[in-house]
Structure 1
Amino acid sequence: MKMDYVSSGIGKTDFLQLRKLYPLFVFSRVSWENRLDHLYIEYEFWTGKNSRNALFFRPSLKVYGRPIEKGSAEWLDPFLFQLGLIELISYWKATCSPEILIQAGSLAASQIKWWQKLYLKGLGEFFFRNGIERDYPGILHIECDSAKQFRPVEIFSLQGNLIPVGGGKDSFLTLEWMKEEKENNLCFLLNPIKAQWDTLRYFSYPLDQVIVVERQIDSLLLGLNKKGFLNGHTPFSALLAFLGTMLMALYKIKNYVASQESSANHPTVPSESINHQYSKSYEFERDFQKFLADSLCPSFSYFSLLRPLSEIQIARLISEIPGALSVFQSCNKNRHCGGWCGHCAKCLFSFLIFRPFVEAQKISGIFGSDLLEKQSLFSLFLSLCGKAEQRPFECLGTEEESLAAASLLWHKAKATGKKPPVLIEKLFSQYPHLLMTRNAIQATYDLVNTEHSLPKKFLSLLQKNVIKKALFDD
């Protein structure tokens, strides 16, 4: 499918022209150095017809925190190599070169197949929004030109838990449940913002239990984005997974405890099988577990503690934690400046699922206003509830969860003789068939996803913290 783009400095360009101009994308090297106060990692990629007249990218990572475990550098190379293959995606998508050549190491045929699946599914939203057919003939071919082989490593004396902290509600709940394991937890932050530090302060984590990673995107890529080269969403949670397992190797950690919940499994564009949250899905979790066992370290354990839960269950659990709502922040629009913007899908969905469990004045104070009283947000509200052509490309709960929260608020208002919030009243007056019964709401809330990979110890932890509660008093 042909798409026009703005002037790029190389003339009017599009997907097909970019592939002709940049037929080859090369992962040429990875280097690292253990410096005085951090581990420095650098990758080199280039794209073009040959290396003499190519675009070169040299992104880097800096790892700050506790000193590296003695001897751990011996097995670092395979983890850095695979981490480079996920970093590669951000640069390859600028030109969608038909050929990817790996010179920094070699891959088995099964590994190439694994990476092709991740690239194509993880970039599903990118292809969709750029009008590119994901099954375009020859869209992506991977070859290796290196004799350097990386075999799985066996790391002994593994212990403890690595917890990625993003500053949102999900990792906040994971840290709450993992308090009994606190001494065995190591938290890691990628390019941290205020909400991430606020979360760690809430749980009183000392700095020697925190790893900070600074990821530096090559400025050339940012310039190409401005000039009209291809750009879009990448599988960020997959990057975190590979980055996290590299840290597990450095610090001899047993468990990677993610915070993905059940709604991450649902597609954003069902007709196209496109999922904004693909790398948060259970499908990716299972694929990554197998990749870890076959290609990196079979002793590592990777799972999501919240996988059995829905967004509305998580909202109620967090609403019962004193002071929690003033700490975390899930708004991507205001991510770097803090607070909630009050206009985006993340803000509206978060407000909707918390509102049944938090007093109106309190939740409105946190979000800056009562979002369910804003007529201007009605079209966005409809998209959350399945009454729009396109669901937002955000990490959101399912349409059923949105309707359950809205229906719960409607029933509670009617039971007390109050008027439901404007958006909810308008929704059910236009679409009365969407109003769920009390029994249906309770059933949605009580539903536990049985597709998960929780080790027995962590499943017991979840069961101890999740107690069935009636949503209605009568």
Structure 2
Amino acid sequence: MGRLRGGICIKEFDMERYAELRNQYSRFFYRGFEVEKTPTELKITYHFEIEGLAEFAPCWTFPRPEGGGEPDEKLIFSLGLVELISYWKIACPPQVVVEAGELDEDQIRWWKHLYFNGLGEFFYVNNIKEADPENFMEIRCAGREDSAGTAAAWEKNVPARSISQGVLVPIGGGKDSVVTLDLLRRAGLPAYGYIINPRGATVNTAGAAGLGEGRVMSVRRTLDPNMLELNRRGYLNGHTPFSALVAFSSLIAARLLNLSYVALSNESSANESTVAGSTVNHQYSKSFEFEQDFHDYVLRYLPGNAYYFSLLRPLSEFQIAKYFAGLKQYHPIFRSCNAGSKTDSWCGHCPKCLFVYLILSPFLSREAVRDIFGRDMLEDETLKGTLDQLTGVVEEKPFECVGSRDEVNTAIVLTIGRLEQEHRPLPALLAYYKGLNLYETYQKAGDHYSAYCDTRNLLPDFLMDLVRKYCVETA
């Protein structure tokens, strides 16, 4: 039997399994990659191997627009360094041998930092307590390049960056990328959509934003079936830093489209740890720490590629929801539910659904929110445990992309206040919440999110002014 953490079952034997697998399968190889080009496609196949267990050949397929640029081998090699972590985690071999390209000592430290923090949830949920930042992995590289002078070369060869040519926006189908697209529209900047493995919500979002066929790059990422089979057979599995894949792959997409800017939709709320008092963060690769690290890495090792930043970094989920509430054309089509992703629906029962329901509730009528989800989640008393996770009654938030504990509490208190002003009865979850000590605390604190602005960001100045104008209230 296992026990639950963050709604996820933790198997008691996983730490022993971790040690056993590392002993049995001690080396992971990044053998190389193949690039196949046709007039219309760029296909990249990576080759990985867990020695003595299995070989893997995942693929990425990008469209090649006519007259587009070409990504260089270092960028393609780098995407493989992110992709490999999904396969390494099957047995967590202590040694990773990189044969596909060159890394210097600083790069090795950078990648180990990303892997360890990006796998924080994986280690935590699988009860792998013995993993530490130094010894969980040794990266060996057949050839190590000398990076001396690389940064200086960047300064001399930086291309002309014209944001007026357009901005690439990764579209996930949720409210955040919608807000980014709408803000860029207000700024008069052409947006280009970037979609990995298109589904209903991502395609519909691009359509609602007015992005025609030539303004959307849809790519296919194909997992190797050997990994899926090993997962089925009980080898180690869990969360990996998917947003790091978005980061590196979006630079390839931007190069193919001849664009010099990539605008993510990650907010400041992503910086909060999932487990209180720890560094375990489901959203690590959406955090500002990763954004800054990625920016510095590209500057030093991948010069000439697009400038990567998150347009929503100064904002909280609360402010994003407030802005999104006014974009009613997107309300019927946006989706953020992982459980319902295959059917392009809201399941109406998971932590992500409840979070989005709560964060929109101060800004939309009860009927409008109910219509989005197809049911009144606030009347579902089986979700009390999930509510406790989202508000901080328990130390672990759900392992989902959800906002901070403080802003969830703020949203709930404001919703209660509005319903009481309207002399409407409180639904079951809000009546339950009003009986908690949290209610009095956050009622006294009031709304301090509408005027919130995180200055730790990489926004160009004029876009910072845009975000302040439309999303940050002033006294």
The verdict on a shared fold, with TM-score over 0.5 as the criterion, is: yes
- Which of 72, 75, 97 is equivalent to 2:93? 97
Q: Is 2:446 the counterpart of 1:441?
A: yes
Equivalent of residue 111 in structure 1, options 96, 107, 110: 107
- Counterpart of 1:39 (choices 27, 39, 42) is 42
Query: Residue type of the partner of 1:58?
Result: A
1:4 aligns with 2:9: no
Which segment is superposed worse, 156-165 or 184-193? 156-165
Partner of 1:281: 287
What is the match of residue 139 of structure 2? 142
Aligned 1:364-375 pairs, distance under 5 A? 364-375=370-381
Pairs within 5 Å for 1:113-132: 113-132=109-128
**TM-superposed deviation, 1:448:** 1.8
User: TM-score normalised to the size of structure 2?
Assistant: 0.91
CA displacement at 1:143 relative to structure 2: 0.8
Structure 1, unmatched stretches of 5+, are: 7-12
The answer to which of 246-255 and 78-87 deviates more is: 246-255
Question: How far is 1:146 from its partner?
Answer: 3.2
Amino acid aligned to 2:254 = M
1:347 partnered with 2:353: yes
| Contact 1:65/1:210, CA 8 A, preserved across alignment | no
CA RMSD in angstroms comes to 2.3
C-alpha separation in 1, matches of 2:381 and 2:239: 30
- Please name the residue that 2:455 is paired with: 450
The 5 A counterparts of 1:140-219 are: 140-146=137-143, 154=157, 156-159=159-162, 160-180=166-186, 184-219=190-225
CA gap 1:110/1:343 in 2 versus in 1, 3 angstroms: same
Instruction: Give secondary structure in 2 for the equivalent of 1:357.
Output: coil
Aligned to 2:298, what secondary structure does the other structure show? helix
Residue 65 to residue 322, structure 1, CA distance change in 2 (3 Å): farther
Pairwise CA distance, 1:126 = 0.3
1:78 aligns with 74
TM-superposition CA deviations, 1:60-110 (whole Å, max 9, x none): 1111252352xx43x510100111100010000101000000001110110
Q: 1:10: which partner in 2?
A: none
1:442 Cα deviation from its structure 2 partner: 2.1
Query: Which SS does the other structure have where 1:143 is aligned?
Result: strand
- Name the SS of the counterpart of 1:420 in structure 2: coil
Percent identity over the alignment is 35
Amino acid in structure 2 at the alignment position of 1:64 = P
* Superposition deviation, residue 3 in structure 1: 5.3
Please give the residue correspondences for 1:293-304 in structure 2 after superposition, counting only pairs within 5 Å: 293-297=299-303, 300-304=306-310
The answer to whether the 8 Å contact 1:155/1:249 transfers is no
The corresponding residue for 1:225 is: 231
Q: 1:270 to 1:298 in 2, by over 3 A?
A: farther
Q: CA deviation at 1:164?
A: 0.4
**Mapped pair 1:462 → 2:462:** no
The residue number in structure 1 matching 2:3 is none
Distance of 1:443 and 1:240 partners within structure 2: 32
Matches within 5 A, 1:5-24: 14-24=17-27
Specify every segment of 5 or more residues in structure 2 that has no aligned partner in the other structure, as ranges: 1-9
- Residue 252 of structure 1, CA deviation: 2.6
Contact 2:310 2:459 (8 Å CA) reproduced:
yes
**In the alignment, what sits opposite 1:9?**
none
Partner of 1:61: 60
Q: Distance in 2 between matches of 1:47 and 1:81?
A: 18
Give a deviation string over 1:140-194, Cα, whole Å, max 9, x none.
0001013778967746344431110111100011011111566632211000110
Letter in 1 for 2:50: T
Amino acid corresponding to residue 361 of structure 2 in structure 1 = R
How far, CA to CA, are the matches of 2:440 and 2:189 in structure 1?
A: 46
State the distance in 1 between where 2:312 and 2:115 align: 25
- Distance in structure 2 (CA, Å) of the matches to 1:40 and 1:149: 29
Alpha-carbon separation, structure 1, partners of 2:361 and 2:19:
48
Tell me the CA shift for residue 209 of structure 1.
1.0
- TM (norm. structure 1) is 0.91
> Secondary structure of 1:347's partner?
helix
Give a deviation string over 1:179-215, Cα, whole Å, max 9, x none: 1566632211000110001101101111111111100
User: Distance between the aligned counterparts of 2:234 and 2:14, measured in 1?
Assistant: 6
| Residues 1:383 and 1:326: Cα distance change in structure 2 (over 3 Å) | same
In structure 1, what is the equivalent of residue 4 of structure 2?
none
Structure 2 Cα separation of the partners of residues 156 and 298 of structure 1: 6
Residue 26 (structure 1) aligned with residue 35 (structure 2): no
Q: Judging changes above 3 Å, is the alpha-carbon distance between structure 1 residues 54 and 369 closer, same or farther for their aligned structure 2 residues? A: closer
CA distance in 2, matches of 1:130, 1:103: 29
Q: Distance in 1 between matches of 2:218 and 2:305?
A: 24
Quote the offset at 1:421 in angstroms: 2.1
